[in-house]
Structure 1
Amino acid sequence: MTASLDLIWQQARQGQAEAIADLMNRTLQAKGVRALVRRRGDCLQIMFEAARSLPPHACAAFVSRGLKQLAPQGILRVRLHARLVGEEWPEWTQTIDLRQTLLTTPLVQPRASTDHAPPVTASSPHAVNAFVLGVLAIAGSGTLALTLQNQLRVDAPPVAESSPAIAPVLIPPAPSDRRLRIKAVGDIVLGTNFPSNRLPADPQKLFAAVKPYLQGADLLFGNYEGTLTDYPHPFKNTSSGRSFAFRSPPSYAQVLRQAGFHVLNIANNHSYDFNEQGFRDTIRHINAAGMTAIGDFNQITYLEANGLKTAFIGFATYHGQNRIQDLKSSAALVQKAKQNADIVIVSFHGGAEGSDQIHTRDRREYFYGEDRGNVVQFARTMIDNGADLILGHGPHVPRALELYKGRLIAYSLGNFVGYQTLSSAGALGKSLILDVELDGSGRFIQGKVIPVRLDAKGVPHIDQNFASVQLIRRLTQIDFPNTPLNIGRLGEIFPTPSQS
């Protein structure tokens, strides 16, 4: 190894991003793959670029095993992305906690081409030839070596056929060391067959343009604004044109499941569009499809994700639901959830609606004379009583973000899908996928606003102009000028150092 390469090796072990990128690219670039690496605190961000799609699981195995051996100083987490050459947005994103990776015994010696080849160890510079990652006998699995070689096109040393399999030992971290990644979107209406047929010809295509960006989180959340039922009798009188009843076929629950959703809120102003029967049908069909419906009265739902017990509660503004106007009862529900869960996530449907309702104000809001609550008072009170993440929806436009006592509040996630039902004019067509990472106690670590736009039919697409990012940045600066959040021009969200 030359002196310069030895220096790069040492710099990589010190956690320097450029040196790590150099070592990786010595192997990858010959195979048509390039790694871009940067560091933010204890998190290493790696973007793979290639002319073909790269499989997430292979990239994750490639990186986690290599960094475990390299042991760069101060790197605890890795954020992986992969994109096609010439594209700006990644096809997928994945987070690796290096403290949760598999610990193994020392490397099995691969078959060498010469009897005088030096041994390869975790601290040996000779491992650089494949960024240490190429020595895939680490798990005693020739199959893994072949998988990575085929899928990432990265050469790996041959593994001796007689090498015994090494059983990995999984060391589960304490809950405080775990991380929970959540993606969340706003209002979803998949079309309606009432009072006339406004259903898509192929409902699977509703999420086609954004589906890759919905993947990769421990939990994917959305607000389902409508019913999944065949019940024929609406609760509302829709003849005035100011009231709408949304009904989609029960089979559309599978469309949502295949898009990747885990949790759907059903506490909103369309919950009872088809009476109690329609409401119960909606819950039943969501749950039967393998997802979880939240928002029933006094309901707390507990889910296990990444080793953390997470509670979900859905709130709205109507009697018969968990009302955001009833702070005492709402606080008691959150307190109960916190006693039984590591993280408590609150979904609320509140605030006035419309393109002129983009601002968040600490006061009660009304829509056509209807009390839609004080969303700022509600959100902060819930955090005061144990909530860790607040996901707001209902105004049909994006609103500001706030960091309150280390917990993130998204005051409105806007529209996400509104096939021939929800307007997409102006701010109503600006949308987002909120990508949030929390620590094991629920404190906000980092996040991202993935910008989305709705076309004229209400179908979501990734927005290369970042319009919703610009809007949310501006609203956050205006409505919460002192909140300790940094929102970058590409949507990155980080707490400022002044955060308490």
Structure 2
Amino acid sequence: MRRNTVVLAALGGAVALALSACGGSSGTPEAKGATGATKPAGTPPSSPAAPAKEPILLAFGGDVHFEGMLRSRLASPSTALGPIARTLRAADYSMVNLETAITTGGTQAPGKEYAFKAPPSALAALKAAGVDVTSMANNHGMDFMQSGLRDSLKAIKKTGFPTVGIGRNADEAYKAHRVTVKGNKLAIVGATQVLDDHLIQPWTATDAQGGLASAKNEARMVQAVRDAAKGSDVVIVHLHWGAELEPCATAVQRRLAQRLKEAGADVIVGGHAHIPQGGGYMGDAYVHYGLGNFVFYSANGQTANSGVLLLRVQDGKVTADKWKPARISGGLPHLLKGAAGAAELKRWKGLRSCTGGLTAAPS
């Protein structure tokens, strides 16, 4: 269980009051959200009762890789993500987008100006920073083609690190990762709508080919969300989508978000634009169109604008949200404080005007 008292101080106001019901105690990232009790000696065995559902706090960061000056940070995975790890650990469940292949070899994809790869220690770095699940469904997840895919899947299996949007076939790639956090049954799905035209076929997972879950196949994506909704309290969908450096959600993003919401998604987050896009409520679901860069060696200017999205979930619905603005320096995000933080938060809230009707509160 994570220390929600850290979050109470961060959110402030009404959101902080709402979160006070969460409680919390000290613990390691691996122990967050865990519950348990010791029975007195001699107690007869019985069917375990379903744990009560407590309010939980979700945290989301944007695109992560370990290129350039960031590669050396993997020499010490326990501190690789720097101070932002405190914010990720303070939540009950955290997620980022891992925008790189996990391989030290492989054959680079043809025709790509930028190709990213990292050793398996990248997964250890995410875990140490308090990240609980990642998506590799993006336009860099298979930068080193099928050989790189095999290495990535091997690393995922060996480490046991929860990773969505990638698999040995379509069933695996579209399959939701399921986990129970403080009595809340979560299902997380990942997919990409961004693929180079000449790589759509070789990168897309099919019945006979390993690869990535593609949101270009909207019917399959909708079915994946419907499947995820069965037996779960909260469905989280992570999408790689949108237009680079475009602050406004595209018509394609807005249409897909609506379809996935109708299919059962409660939280829809994503990225690709390299800058933060707007977020808000679509009815009773929360949509954040673009989380921006997060751990990214080349971030500068507007692409260095970043942040952490915090969502409070209770009884299967998002009841409060908070965008914590950050600025990337040296490849790592640092939370903004004081006047700088207030100004960037105000600017980010203004982006809601071009999200196609997202609101500041659920309805």
Question: TM-score per shorter chain, which class?
Answer: 0.7 to 0.9
C-alpha distance 271-454 of structure 1, shift in aligned 2 (>3 A): same
Check the 8 A contact 2:214/2:221 in 1, yes or no: yes
Q: Percent same amino acid at aligned positions?
A: 23
Give the CA deviation at 1:468: 4.0
SS of 1:453's partner is strand
Check the 8 A contact 2:56/2:314 in 1, yes or no: yes
Distance in 2 of aligned mates of 1:37 and 1:353: 30
Q: Please, which of 222, 235, 238 is the counterpart of residue 347 of structure 1? A: 238
C-alpha distance 275-399 of structure 1, shift in aligned 2 (>3 A): same
Check the 8 A contact 2:19/2:312 in 1, yes or no: no
Aligned: 1:359 with 2:232? no
Q: Please, which of 58, 72, 86 is the counterpart of residue 200 of structure 1? A: 72
SS of 2:71's partner is coil
Alignment of 1:252-331 (within 5 A): 252-296=122-166, 297-317=173-193, 318=195, 319=200, 320=204, 321-331=212-222
| Larger-Rg structure | 1
Aligned: 1:40 with 2:17? no
Q: Please, which of 221, 226, 229 is the counterpart of residue 338 of structure 1? A: 229
Equivalent position amino acid for 2:190 in 1: G
Equivalent position amino acid for 1:461 in 2: H
SS of 2:323's partner is strand
SS of 1:334's partner is helix
Equivalent position amino acid for 1:425 in 2: N
- Alignment TM-score, normalising by the size of structure 2: 0.77
Q: Deviations over 1:356-397 (max 9, x none)?
A: x11123x2xxxxxxxxxx111111110111011001111111
Gaps of 5+ in 1: 1-34, 47-76, 83-94, 103-169, 364-373, 486-494
Give the CA deviation at 1:36: 12
Check the 8 A contact 1:206/1:459 in 2, yes or no: no
Point out the structure with the larger helix share: 2
SS of 1:433's partner is strand
Q: Please, which of 206, 210, 216 is the counterpart of residue 84 of structure 2? A: 210
Q: Deviations over 1:210-239 (max 9, x none)?
A: 12111122211000000121224212345x
C-alpha distance 44-338 of structure 1, shift in aligned 2 (>3 A): closer
Distance in 2 of aligned mates of 1:38 and 1:225: 32
Check the 8 A contact 1:391/1:410 in 2, yes or no: yes
C-alpha distance 248-481 of structure 1, shift in aligned 2 (>3 A): closer
Equivalent position amino acid for 1:184 in 2: F
C-alpha distance 274-406 of structure 1, shift in aligned 2 (>3 A): same
Distance in 1 of aligned mates of 2:134 and 2:315: 23
SS of 2:63's partner is strand
Check the 8 A contact 2:65/2:100 in 1, yes or no: yes
Partner of 1:182: 58
Q: Deviations over 1:323-375 (max 9, x none)?
A: 32322221111111111322111000011112xx11123x2xxxxxxxxxx11
Aligned: 1:458 with 2:339? no
Equivalent position amino acid for 1:360 in 2: A
Distance in 2 of aligned mates of 1:81 and 1:470: 33
Partner of 1:250: 120
Distance in 2 of aligned mates of 1:380 and 1:181: 24
Check the 8 A contact 2:95/2:131 in 1, yes or no: yes
Distance in 1 of aligned mates of 2:58 and 2:86: 15
Give the CA deviation at 1:426: 2.3
Give the CA deviation at 1:42: 10
Distance in 2 of aligned mates of 1:180 and 1:470: 26
Give the CA deviation at 1:440: 2.5
Distance in 1 of aligned mates of 2:15 and 2:162: 35
Distance in 2 of aligned mates of 1:400 and 1:37: 19
Partner of 1:474: 350
C-alpha distance 198-461 of structure 1, shift in aligned 2 (>3 A): closer
Q: Please, which of 397, 404, 408 is the counterpart of residue 282 of structure 2? A: 404
Distance in 1 of aligned mates of 2:304 and 2:262: 33
SS of 2:140's partner is coil
Give the root-mean-square deviation of aligned CA atoms. Answer: 3.3
Check the 8 A contact 1:287/1:293 in 2, yes or no: no
Equivalenced residues, count:
314
Give the CA deviation at 1:460: 1.7
SS of 2:324's partner is strand
